[in-house]
Structure 1
């Protein structure tokens, strides 16, 4: 496995692979790998003859009071995991090589970024779209793999790719969970033992909403209220950021389930901000 830090060297290698008839699968990450990241790499390995994994804690998607400096990092361990999952190239740039001091160009999908996580993280998806577009440009990847835990992120990236005619196919992988249902996240390490013990109730509340939807409940407000009551009893340490029912593709808020409806949430557990989602119907 090659490890590169220079964007120009990454581009040169990917151009050579394309010239040789190879197909490139890209897995963009911020590192501190867990089984969810591993599933993305495994899928990428299946989809391309060459697998590029990027590891970059992207500063432009963090707000002023967020955890950029504290974000967990273990690059040596991450490199070993990427190698063991068949990565041909691990791209680990420094921020200065990705953003010039006078960087002034941004990519964003503002309508889809206003709600859900974007409401409390107003610059987040602008940073995500910009860095992902940079990675698409640098690698000219044929396919890129993202996880469904960040549903809003992958929906926005799909729209960006469609609107700008980017020649890359977007693949998504299901959420990988702990045995008790908690969605895997690098930020789970922020939780105390007591917070971690309650955290699985986050997903159980979403499962309650799906069960009610399958029993025939169509009113999004009623479903939302049922989850909030459940969390009030079973997740007392949680502080609600949002709980919304939206169209799974457009992310538009829904009053009534529409055939492909998504319930998405963010809840703060101490220093950790947990996100999760569930398709209420598909």
Structure 2
């Protein structure tokens, strides 16, 4: 696996993979890799000549400086994991390499960055839009791979790609879960043993909401019931439970074939998100 820390050297290396018939697959991450990230790399390897993974903890998408400071850094372990799954190239730039001068660019994604994560993390998606724009420009892949767990982020990137006429195909890979159902997340490493057990209530809350909705319960009543269900566990605080149209993320009140349930909350000081497609068999 080739490892690059500088934009110029990465671009120079990738030139040899710009030939007719070649394709580059790209997996952007912030490190602290787990099986969910590796599934993205494996999906890319099946469809492309070359797979590039980036590891960069992007400061502009953290609205909470404390959250940024506590974000796990496991670069050496990440390198070993990427080698094992056959990743071809790792790009792990410094903050100075990605932001050589003060950034003044801001993105506005309309209602998409004002709801759900956008409501509770103001400025977050502007930072996501900026770093993804930079990375897609640097790597110039034919395909980019994102995990379903960050569903709203993927919708933001989809709008970014459409509005800027970027020539890249976005691929959404299903959520990877622990055996008990907890969505895999780099943040899970910060949970205590008890918090790790209690955090499973978010996935169970999604399943409960799905069952109630399919039984004909009104969504407003479902929200109340799921909030009580989740917060019955120690150190759990629910921020939101939402029902949305998965094609455009507009919030809805009744189930459709394209509905998705999204949830977010805290286990102690660790903020977690999850989602569940209403047509998912799980």
**Could you state the TM-score of these two structures normalised by the residue count of structure 2?**
0.94
Alignment of 1:274 onto 2:272: yes
Note if contact 1:33-1:78 (Cα within 8 Å) is conserved in structure 2: yes
In 1, Cα distance between equivalents of 2:127 and 2:11: 21
Q: Specify the alignment match of 1:58 in structure 2.
A: 58
Aligned 8 A contact 1:28 1:53 in 2? yes
| 1:2 CA displacement | 0.7
Which residue of structure 1 lines up, in the alignment, with residue 134 of structure 2?
134
**In the TM superposition, what is the alpha-carbon distance from 1:20 to its structure 2 partner?**
6.5
CA shift in 2, pair 1:38/1:49, >3 Å: same
Query: Which residue does the alignment assign to 2:226?
Result: 227
* 1:73 aligned counterpart, secondary structure: coil
- Displacement of 1:155 after TM fit? 1.2
Q: 2:48 is matched with which residue?
A: 48
Alignment correspondent of 1:92: 92
In 1, are the aligned partners of 2:54 and 2:90 still within 8 Å (CA)?
A: yes
The answer as to 2:256 corresponding to 1:252 is: no
Q: Which runs of 5+ in 1 are unaligned?
A: none
**What does residue 174 of structure 1 align with?**
174
How do 1:9-24 and structure 2 match up within 5 A?
9-19=9-19, 21-24=21-24
SS of 1:68's partner is helix
Could you tell me how far 1:21 is from its partner in structure 2?
Answer: 4.2
Q: Distance in 2 between matches of 1:263 and 1:272?
A: 21
The total of aligned residue pairs comes to: 280
Equivalent residue for 1:242?
Answer: 240
- For residues 21 and 251 of structure 1, the distance between their equivalents in structure 2, rounded to whole angstroms, comes to 35
Whether contact under 8 Å (2:213, 2:219) holds in the other structure is no
Per-residue CA distance 1:109-163 (angstroms, 9 max, x = gap): 2320111111111111111111111111111100000000111101111121122
Match of 1:253, SS state, is coil
Instruction: Using the TM superposition, name which of 261-270 and 62-71 deviates more.
Output: 62-71
Residue range with higher mean Cα deviation, 257-266 or 32-41: 257-266
Q: Which residue of 1 aligns with 2:31?
A: 31
Deviation at 1:229, TM superposition (A): 3.0
Deviations 1:221-265 (A, max 9, x none): 1332232232243x2421122221122222222122233122111
The alpha-carbon deviation at position 205 of structure 1 amounts to 1.1
Contact in 1 for aligned 2:206/2:275 (Cα 8 Å): yes
TM-score by length of 1: 0.94
Measured after TM superposition, the shift of residue 108 of structure 1 is: 4.1
Decide which moves more: 252-261 or 238-247: 252-261
Structure 2 gaps, min length 5: none
